[in-house]
Structure 1
Amino acid sequence: MDSSLPGLVSVLDTDLYKLTMQQAVLRYFPDAVVSYKFTNRTPSTRFSRKCYDAFTRAVSKFPEVTLTQDERTWLASTCPYLAPDYLEYLAGFKYDLSQLRVDFIPSSDDPEWGALDIEAVGPWRDAIMWEVPLLAVLSEAYFATIDTDWNYDGTLERAYEKGKTLITGGVAFSEFGTRRRRSLKAHDLVVEGLVKAQKDFGTGDGAGMLSGTSNVYLAKKHSIKPVGTIAHEWFMGVAASKGYANSHNVALQYWEELYSRKLLVALTDTFSTQAFFKEFSSNKTRVEHWSALRQDSGDPFAFAPVAQEMYKSLGIDHRTKRIIYSDGLTIDLALRLKKQCDELGFLSAFGIGTNFSNDFDKASNPTEKSAPLNIVIKIASIDGKPCIKISDVLTKNTGDPETVRHAKEVFGLPVNAQ
């Protein structure tokens, strides 16, 4: 593989929820300063100096990329919820390398191999843009310099077959694979294959269909809808800044004020789905307004029955609501979850990421998978206050332990599950 990388080809080569959240940050937290930190969830995976060098060379060119007039015009037409003043801000946005620190930490046994320490610190309104392209470019650097036992053979065709299976199976789905893609070229081929499957098998009835892609650049390139709403980062930042009591409703209220009846998909698991439903269900009017719930951790088959009970307890017809699943989905899992939602009466949709954008076999042995990286960048603090996440697996938490303990006390969760 060629170790030279395309880097960042467009400001829009990111996920839509970064733009929607950036607009919200500009409205409600224009002066907040945040930090983001990188985590490699597979510590046995090491990075080489060659990978580090390729990655940092690509990142050094990020500031050269700015929003073009053509992109701005397209955004204004395609995403009317992005206000003119926000688009003006985005047009002036440039990546600021002074916000970013990327260190290579060599291993004691071999200085050519080691770990990466990545941190971004700056105004939330700007630093929010680092996460997605950094992860995408790092993944591409890894598979261009370290794991090179793969090729592009069959990438488009594989995506096409997956799209065909989902569409003919009545599944509404979106492509969510930017952060962990094998490469920009792979991502582009995947979206091309999915679009072709939609053209060949979509009936236009809204049941089985490709709803769009979270990647704004590829949505524009392939003339499909950019999709996305809100991420854990929003809830984490709002709660750390404003306090954990009633923080779900505070975060949702800000969002609803800004977007009215648009983009009202509630992400449920930032501080556990249990805590979310407890707060969310305290405001029937809000539950009526929000059109969908997004399930992103825990047992996906346990989610719909609990959501059904929540809606029933408020006298709301759950059959008018949608569940969007987005946690580690495969094609088979999406089909099985669709069947459960049909049986319970929920509308459903699916955001499929890594299984689309980083599903490759080893070139030397096509019966063996070439495993994707499992890397994340999370918001770590806001104005000096630590940001945390409490998983639906209550023993798996992210962030400062004392803040986790405090939040669990506020939310009525088992404090000893640290």
Structure 2
Amino acid sequence: MNVDLAERAHNHNWKLDPIVRSLLDTDFYKLLMLQFIWKNFPDVHVTSETVNRTTHVRLAEHIPASALIEQMEHVRQLRLRKSELIWLAGNTFYGTRTIFEPAFLEWLENGFRLSDYEVSEEDGQLILRFSGLWTEVTMWEVYALALMSEMKTRAALGRLSELELDILYARAKTRLWDKIEKLREIPEVRISEFGTRRRHSFLWQEYVVMAMHAGLGASLSGTSNTYLAYKHDLEAMGTNAHELPMALAALSKNDEELHDSQYRVLELWQKNYGGELLIMLPDTFGTTQFLEGAPDWVADWTGQRADSKDPFVAGDEYIAWLISRGRDARSKRLIASDGLDVDGIIALHKYFHGRIRFSAGWGTLVTNDFRGCHPRGEHDFEPISLVCKLMTVNGHPAVKLSDNANKATGPEKEIERYRRVFGSVAVAGSEVVV
């Protein structure tokens, strides 16, 4: 890909380089979840908001609220192009050509809109809050995080000379290639690029994806970025996220419904999708309790994504559970996706190879690893942990317990109630870096 990143950064004009260029510039799972929500919960109202877990980085000091609003309004004006809709309708995703229903695509073209939002400043942080129908709010998540992440990047780029920009990107390219070379030594490894939401920039993510495609060949399964998959004829990767079980739990009328909601969401999902899209995410309220109480049919799902638990521990636990349910773990898939970098991916591949179909979702530390690349030794380009989480569902608080207590979200009283209902114990996991 012949793009002079340093020159482009030096002459940034946001109308030439808007941060979000297309409504497809989002994680593929958001589109799968949007269709699921549109079909099953079209009248549910939610609120969500962004949180910067890297609190020492005061985003309000780097990003003017007015400039963020200008970018947000640009996103609200975007519409899917005819060619993008034709691609969604006719392309094969996970071996299925009709994954998106014609009625959904028609609604996506003519009825879809993004919700209203508020921008506020609290303790040096910019907070984005969204409110409206779930179908209107859900897509903001990735757009908002990508906007804030790249605006932080652009502020730092603006403080460098053209020579310093050349040095910055030369170092980052060298670091990226060093990682790719390590992975090239293990042709059996399988990796998906998962780095949209906290990327350095769109142009850098595109460069990373094309470098991985050229350097890794078949080891690159695809990208979670739907627009890049569309533009470069790659596989679009992704299934579902914590948002779904959080919402169904919040809609529960009593403790029994609350406990069973983590399996109810799987029942609904498998009515809409199958095959490689049957990947469960059991850590929303604690992986161990989820597996212990799961109905037998859950073991027929294709695999599991390990997010907040140590992936070595989570993988062993999943394999043992499959064996106890009489399933062949070698036919199942294990996806690790939390804060991975190249050495961890290689270690996990070697550990699980031959025991289960292992693959890695490589995110922030491939699309935003500029650590140590600053030409003056400063830390302006280090990635931060930005998230956007559900806050309420039809007026009820939304909760996530996680396998890592540092990632728990929700009002403290509701967290206590959820721990009682699900029998989850607060476990202090690793520090949240990205």
When the two structures are superposed, what TM-score results if normalisation uses the length of structure 1? 0.89
Residue 325 of structure 1, aligned match among 324, 332, 336 = 336
Aligned partners of 1:154, 1:75: CA distance in 2, in Å?
A: 37
Higher mean alpha-carbon deviation, 131-140 vs 44-53, is at 44-53
For residues 167-204 of structure 1, give each alpha carbon's deviation from its aligned partner in whole angstroms, at most 9, with x where no partner exists: 431210100000000111111111111111134xx4xx
SS in structure 1 at match of 2:353: helix
Structure 1 residue 239 corresponds to structure 2 residue 249: yes
Aligned partners of 1:396, 1:104: CA distance in 2, in Å?
A: 22
Aligned partners of 1:144, 1:369: CA distance in 2, in Å?
A: 10
Contact 1:160 1:196 in 2 (8 A): no
Aligned partners of 1:395, 1:139: CA distance in 2, in Å?
A: 21
Contact 2:405 2:426 in 1 (8 A): no
Which residue identity lines up with residue 193 of structure 1 in the other structure? A
Contact 1:51 1:141 in 2 (8 A): no
Equivalent position of 2:7 in the other structure: none
Q: CA deviation at 1:92?
A: 2.2
What's the Cα RMSD here? 2.3
Higher mean alpha-carbon deviation, 4-13 vs 88-97, is at 88-97
Contact 2:114 2:140 in 1 (8 A): no
Equivalent position of 2:134 in the other structure: 124
SS in structure 1 at match of 2:277: coil
Mark the runs of 5 or more structure 1 residues left unpaired by the alignment: 108-113, 203-208
Structure 1 residue 165 corresponds to structure 2 residue 182: yes
Equivalent position of 2:282 in the other structure: 268
Identity %: 33
Aligned partners of 2:231, 2:181: CA distance in 1, in Å?
A: 21
Mark the runs of 5 or more structure 2 residues left unpaired by the alignment: 1-9, 429-434
Query: Residues 239 and 320 (structure 1 numbering): CA distance in 2 closer, same or farther, change over 3 Å?
Result: same
Structure 1 residue 178 corresponds to structure 2 residue 196: yes
Equivalent position of 1:22 in the other structure: 34
Query: Residues 244 and 152 (structure 1 numbering): CA distance in 2 closer, same or farther, change over 3 Å?
Result: same
Which residue identity lines up with residue 341 of structure 1 in the other structure? F
SS in structure 2 at match of 1:60: helix
For residues 229-280 of structure 1, give each alpha carbon's deviation from its aligned partner in whole angstroms, at most 9, with x where no partner exists: 0000011111111342212210100000111335101112111111221233
Higher mean alpha-carbon deviation, 116-125 vs 386-395, is at 386-395
Equivalent position of 2:304 in the other structure: 293
For residues 95-119 of structure 1, give each alpha carbon's deviation from its aligned partner in whole angstroms, at most 9, with x where no partner exists: 446x1101234x6xxxxxx221210
Which residue identity lines up with residue 103 of structure 2 in the other structure? D
Equivalent position of 2:77 in the other structure: 64
Equivalent position of 1:110 in the other structure: none
**Equivalences for residues 90-169 of structure 1 within 5 A:** 90-93=108-111, 95-96=113-114, 99-105=116-122, 114-146=124-156, 148=159, 151-153=168-170, 155=172, 158-169=175-186
SS in structure 1 at match of 2:265: helix
Higher mean alpha-carbon deviation, 25-34 vs 153-162, is at 153-162
Which residue identity lines up with residue 250 of structure 2 in the other structure? A
Query: Residues 369 and 130 (structure 1 numbering): CA distance in 2 closer, same or farther, change over 3 Å?
Result: closer
Aligned partners of 1:210, 1:49: CA distance in 2, in Å?
A: 34
Query: Residues 261 and 145 (structure 1 numbering): CA distance in 2 closer, same or farther, change over 3 Å?
Result: same
Query: Residues 63 and 370 (structure 1 numbering): CA distance in 2 closer, same or farther, change over 3 Å?
Result: closer
Which residue identity lines up with residue 176 of structure 1 in the other structure? F
Contact 2:46 2:390 in 1 (8 A): yes
Structure 1 residue 54 corresponds to structure 2 residue 67: yes
